[in-house]
Structure 1
Amino acid sequence: MKVSRVCCQGCGADLQIDESVRFATCNYCHAKLEIVHDTSVTHTRLMEKIEQTTCRMAGNLRVIELQNDLERLDREWAVRRESFMQTSKNGHRYIPSTVGSVISGIVFSIIGVMILGSVSQMARSGMFGLVGLIAIGLGIWSAVSGYMKASSYQSAVADYEAARRELSERIDGSREG
């Protein structure tokens, strides 16, 4: 068993270390030391610096993981948001709104009532009366359906924003800690 003489990086004291030892504590300053056995020399390295560097790297890794989670959340939201979008007759994509849905339902219903009103003054009401009832039915269905879609979208937006806010706060907390 070969004993090497090394210098403590904490206080400079001479230490005698067995060559098989990898870690030691200085008898004088109680510094935690890593014993580095190179081909030509044996020396010490303070473990506190290594531990600090390791902790800093772990913190940086945690921030990167959280940033990746945030980016994934944003990508998933973009896909989900697209599923809520509707297409107009001109091909334009838009997000449904509760106000727009109710207004379109009212317009359809008014048209249906106007058709029924004009049909009631005609001698033969036949098919026109049915068209008026269908327009009123479409108006009600359009209002309810659009309102439900808009409400679902607003709920999804609130969930997404809450999740994004939580991740952002965790990122900020990891950067500070």
Structure 2
Amino acid sequence: METLSVRCNHCGAPLQVAENTRFVTCQFCQSSLEVKRTESSIFTEEVAKIAANTGKMAESLEVITVQNEIEKLDREIGLGQVPATKKGGGGLAGGIAGAAFGLFFAVVCFLMASGFSSAGAGMFTIVPVGMGIFGLVMAGSALIGGVNREADRSKYQERREELERRLEELRQK
């Protein structure tokens, strides 16, 4: 078995390690070392430093993960999957406005049907009645849509605030 000569990264003492050895403990300073190899050299690195660097990288990765979640949430807003909080229209106010228009349309249609009926229009009375029913359905749909958009908007805002708090906690570490 062939041995290689390397130096301890902590105290500089010479070490003899087997060719396939990956980890070694320095017999002089008791440092735990990883034996690293490149095409042109062999050297050691303290395992404690590797662990510290790994911990820092894990913290950075967690920050990046939270940032990506915020960006994904914002992209979903931009793609219309969840209504944006800063966009006009929509929301509860938009739903109420749509419902009011639908009710107005239905009332006008029912008044037209009443007028046609009193004028003896017969079958032509059915058309404005159908349009009035359509207006009522659209009014209900607009109101329900507005309530749903408002709920989605609220969920988005809560989730974004939660992610921003988490990001701030990570940055303060």
What is the TM-score normalised by the length of structure 1? 0.63
Inter-partner Cα distance in structure 1 for 2:155 and 2:72 = 15
Aligned letter for 2:90?
I
Name the CA shift for 1:63/1:40 in 2 (closer, same or farther; >3 Å): closer
1:9-158 → structure 2 map (5 Å cutoff): 9=10, 12=11, 14=13, 16-20=15-19, 21-27=21-27, 29-35=29-35, 44-81=44-81, 94-95=89-90, 97-115=94-112, 119=115, 124-126=119-121, 129-130=125-126, 132-158=128-154
Inter-partner Cα distance in structure 1 for 2:39 and 2:96 = 78
Name the CA shift for 1:125/1:16 in 2 (closer, same or farther; >3 Å): same
Inter-partner Cα distance in structure 2 for 1:175 and 1:168 = 10
Report if the CA contact (8 A) 1:31-1:46 is conserved: yes
Report if the CA contact (8 A) 2:96-2:146 is conserved: no
Report if the CA contact (8 A) 1:66-1:167 is conserved: yes
Inter-partner Cα distance in structure 2 for 1:39 and 1:8 = 19
Aligned residues: 164
The answer for unaligned runs of 5 or more in structure 2 is none
Inter-partner Cα distance in structure 1 for 2:137 and 2:68 = 42
Inter-partner Cα distance in structure 2 for 1:65 and 1:111 = 55
Aligned letter for 2:7?
V
Name the CA shift for 1:107/1:27 in 2 (closer, same or farther; >3 Å): same
Report if the CA contact (8 A) 1:59-1:175 is conserved: no
What is the TM-score normalised by the length of structure 2? 0.64
Question: What are the superposed Cα offsets for residues 68-101 of structure 1, whole Å, 9 maximum, x if unpaired?
Answer: 343233323322348x8xxxxxxxx953622112
Identical amino acids, percent of aligned pairs: 24
Inter-partner Cα distance in structure 1 for 2:152 and 2:40 = 65
Inter-partner Cα distance in structure 2 for 1:94 and 1:4 = 74
C-alpha displacement at 1:146, in angstroms? 1.0
Name the CA shift for 1:109/1:30 in 2 (closer, same or farther; >3 Å): same
Inter-partner Cα distance in structure 2 for 1:37 and 1:81 = 50
Report if the CA contact (8 A) 2:100-2:139 is conserved: yes
C-alpha displacement at 1:105, in angstroms? 2.5
RMSD between superposed Cα atoms in Å: 4.0
